Amino acid sequence: MTSVKTSLTEMLLQANNIDPRGFQRWVFCPGMVYGSTDKWWGDFGQRDFPHEGIDLCLYEDRAGRLQRLDAQTRIPVMGDGVVRAVFRDYLGQAIIVEHASSANGNRKYLSVYAHTRPKEGLQPGVAVREGEVIATIADTRHAKARILPHLHLSLGHPSPTLVYALFVWNMMRDPERVALQDPMDFVEGRYRILDFEDRSCLDF
């Protein structure tokens, strides 16, 4: 995967007309971060599997106020690539984009944008350019899970034998198919993680 941090945060702010001077940092409940075994919704119990990515939902503005993304939030793709799969997930649809690594052109990586509403015409085989809006966040207000709208982002290296046409969510949990990495190692921007006792992100 590229060793240079992407401008995904900057592109997301621009795509949604959010003044970057008002953005201080991302805010995560413990259950929103990569590898977490905790839920940040429902009964706040344990996940069935460690979290496969990060959940972008909350951020802090320069005044220290908690803000959140919503179902109108436009999602830009983090780099040039090709859409390889679009499939139903638990809260909307997931989009997989395959990219060539800037560090090693022979090794590909993928980015997964989940719990979304893909833009019309987005389907496997479509080429996308860095910063292009590919979806909006799905409206989860009426979901059984009672969870805030958010963008789930996963990053990783696909196996050369991965068949995208058969891709389902659980395949991300198989290291023989996808070697996942922590997205916050590659997404620029400061962030903080709330204490387990802090429910401010849930009572927003």
Which residue from 110, 93, 92 is spatially nearest to 101, judged by alpha carbons? 110
The stretch 161-165 carries a mean pLDDT of: 93
Q: What is the pLDDT of residues 72-116, one digit of tens each?
A: 999 999 999 999 999 999 899 999 999 987 655 568 999 999 999
Total-model pTM? 0.93
pLDDT of residue 70: 93
Contact 182, 35 (CB under 8 A): yes
pLDDT of residue 2: 46
DSSP string, 143-178: -TT-----EEEEEEEEPTT--GGG--GGGGG-TTTE
Please name each of the domains of the chain with its CATH number: 8-193 (2.70.70.10)
Evaluate if residue 194 carries a pLDDT over 60: yes
The mean pLDDT of the chain is 90
pLDDT of residue 201: 62
